[in-house]
Structure 1
Amino acid sequence: MNQSKQLTDGALLTAIFIVLLLIWFFIPITSIFISFALPVPFIIFTAKYDWKPSLIMFIATLIIGTLFATYISIPVVVISAVGGIMIGAAIKRKLTAYETWARGTVGFVVGLLFSLLFTQILLDVNIVDELNNSMETSIDMSQSMMSQLGLEEELIEEQFALVKETLAMIIDLLPMLIVMAAIVQAFISQWISYKVINRMDHKKLQFPKFHHLRFPVSIIWIYFLALVLSLFQSDPDSMLFIGLQNILVLAGFLMVIQGFSFLFFYTHYKRMSKAIPIIVIILTVIFLPLLLPLMRILGIIDIGFGLRDRLFKK
């Protein structure tokens, strides 16, 4: 009976995945929204039957997806399957929401790296070269338009030199952007899956309140180690320098999130209005260069010195 139920559920969820994949493939305007829902069938199936039966579902979706949506769909299937299975297996083992999120992030990073290799090796498309070419074309067109408007050549060249440096920095931060994309993908897909599983199986899966979020102290050590090592790297084109910059940006982002979490915790602890931290977040986005470092420092202090524990002791 269990084997029959497993086969039925597997076939049904495979069919749902294929329908979502075809919508993603043939209606590009929906691709961003559908991409968050694609891992959900894998999450539901893995959360119920564990990862081994999910591998069969993965192979089935890979074959059927290739037949209906051509080989171009292979990276999408791999990203959805690997990330979804990682999240589902964590739910099956009753890990916390944040541990599940972390495992899902790792799964989506693996899937995204596979998609980059797939496009590089099989499709002969280098993502970095394509980004460079498209940005250079856009910059050349913009320079030409500004020259036709009669602006000074020296001023134009100075402005676009700064733009080129910024864009080059963004390309160097591609690994960090991949991790950030995986974090967002894992969070949204996991949140959707919680809603579906709760409705189907009458469970109470949910993320803890944001003011309970606390990252491990090791993030601070990683951040400061990368900061110290970057002081001895004078070559901005070296792989070590680029890697350190990616670590600094990612760890700094996590500490900003920690700072926001402490802000929500403090207002909750003092029974202040919930609008206060929301207003602070909006102001931080508006005055990014001024307030973002302050929120990062607040996150460092909260993680490193245990501000919450000190408040409770008082």
Structure 2
Amino acid sequence: MKQTRALVEGAILISLFAVLMMVSLYIPLIGTFLLFTLPLPVMMQTIRHGVKPGLLMGLVSVPVSLIVGSLSGMMLAFSVSAAGVIMGYHYRKKEPVHAIASAAVTYMVSMVLLLFISIQFFGLNLIETANQTYNETFKIFESSLKQFGNDKETAKQLEQMKEQLKQIQYLYPMVIVMMSGIAAFLNHLIAKPILRRTAVQIPSLKPFRELRFPQSIIWFYLLTIVLSLAPSEEGSVFYSIILNASMIMGFILAIQGFSFVFYFCHAKKMPTVLPVLFLIIGLLSPLLFLVRILGIIDIGFNLREKVKKS
């Protein structure tokens, strides 16, 4: 009886998955939002009936997506189905944090596999294609900018933009990490209210102000700084690893700094709009460097205890 029910619900959820896939691929605006709902059918099957039925549904979703959305749909189905099974497994155990973290890792591995497959089997290097697009766009921008003047200030700005463009071309690993984390978090935000309507109770995440990373983060950050002082050739593997590691560590420490600001404002009973404004301004200004230092101090010296005592 249970197996029959699982098969019937699985068939219904597969149909729902196919509809969501079609809309995500072929309708621009609505599809962008529905893209983050794709793991939901597999997630629901895993929560209601266990990992094996969830895996079975995930396997069936791959050929279904090939029919509905061609090769791009199949690639997408592979990653979102795997994320759905993993998140469903952790939701069954009431572990929302583990669900988000595991889904983020799943997306990262999927993206790396996609890059490998596209290079090895299709001869298409997506990173090189993106770099060529950036370079061509910059050349067009450079030629149009020179039409308005070719003074020293313009030349200086163009040189700075060239250097920034070079840096960006080495930061694809960091982009993959950030995109994976954001996608997993959005999956959770969308799934939580929908699952609760189906009588699946998912524990809430702790407030952002209570976020605290382990002290080992500081040592990893210091290690990346020390290694960055070692001589390395621009474009080498070592150079790329250190650059990405330092950027990721700096981003984590900035998150810790913003978390402390939210904690401080809450402890002092300040309006909620103040830390939100500080977050927006901090992300768009050089103030981000100071927020990173604040994050280091918060982790290393436990500023929150001092705020409590005061």
Alignment of structure 1 residues 20-169 onto 2, 5 Å? 20-95=20-95, 97-147=96-146, 149=147, 151-152=149-150, 158-169=156-167
- Mean CA deviation greater in 79-88 or 241-250: 79-88
Q: Does 1:307 align with 2:303?
A: yes
Q: Equivalent residue of 2:83, what SS?
A: helix
Q: How far has the Cα of 1:206 moved from its partner?
A: 2.1
8 Å CA contact 2:58–2:85 kept in 1: the answer is no
Structure 1 pair 108–218 and aligned structure 2 pair: CA distance change class (3 A): same
1:223-248 per-residue CA deviation (whole Å, 9 max, x = no partner) reads 11111111113322221121111111
Q: How far has the Cα of 1:153 moved from its partner?
A: 7.5
Hey, what's the Cα distance between the residues in 2 that align with 1:60 and 1:145? 51
Q: Gaps (5+ residues) in structure 1?
A: none
Alignment of structure 1 residues 251-266 onto 2, 5 Å? 251-266=249-264
Q: Which amino acid aligns with 2:290?
A: L
Residue equivalent to 1:294: 290
TM-score by length of 1: 0.91
Hey, what's the Cα distance between the residues in 2 that align with 1:274 and 1:35? 31
Given candidates 176, 193, 196, the residue that maps to 2:194 is: 196
1:94-150 per-residue CA deviation (whole Å, 9 max, x = no partner) reads 22x323221111111112222222322333221121112112221222233334x25
1:188-234 per-residue CA deviation (whole Å, 9 max, x = no partner) reads 10111111111111525322211121122222221111111111133
8 Å CA contact 2:43–2:54 kept in 1: the answer is no
Hey, what's the Cα distance between the residues in 2 that align with 1:244 and 1:296? 18
Alignment of structure 1 residues 130-279 onto 2, 5 Å? 130-147=129-146, 149=147, 151-152=149-150, 158-201=156-199, 203-279=201-277
8 Å CA contact 1:82–1:111 kept in 2: the answer is no
Matched residues, number: 310
1:247-296 per-residue CA deviation (whole Å, 9 max, x = no partner) reads 1111111111111111111121222221221121122134x22x101111
Q: Which amino acid aligns with 1:126?
A: N
1:19-76 per-residue CA deviation (whole Å, 9 max, x = no partner) reads 1111122223444212211112222222233322222111111011112221221221
Percent of aligned pairs with the same residue? 31
Q: Which amino acid aligns with 1:129?
A: E
8 Å CA contact 2:65–2:77 kept in 1: the answer is yes
Q: Which amino acid aligns with 1:57?
A: M
Structure 1 pair 281–5 and aligned structure 2 pair: CA distance change class (3 A): same
Structure 1 pair 272–146 and aligned structure 2 pair: CA distance change class (3 A): closer
Q: Which amino acid aligns with 2:294?
A: L
TM-score by length of 2: 0.92
Hey, what's the Cα distance between the residues in 2 that align with 1:305 and 1:269? 18
8 Å CA contact 1:47–1:88 kept in 2: the answer is yes
8 Å CA contact 1:267–1:273 kept in 2: the answer is yes
RMSD: 2.0
Alignment of structure 1 residues 6-25 onto 2, 5 Å? 6-25=6-25
Q: Equivalent residue of 1:236, what SS?
A: coil
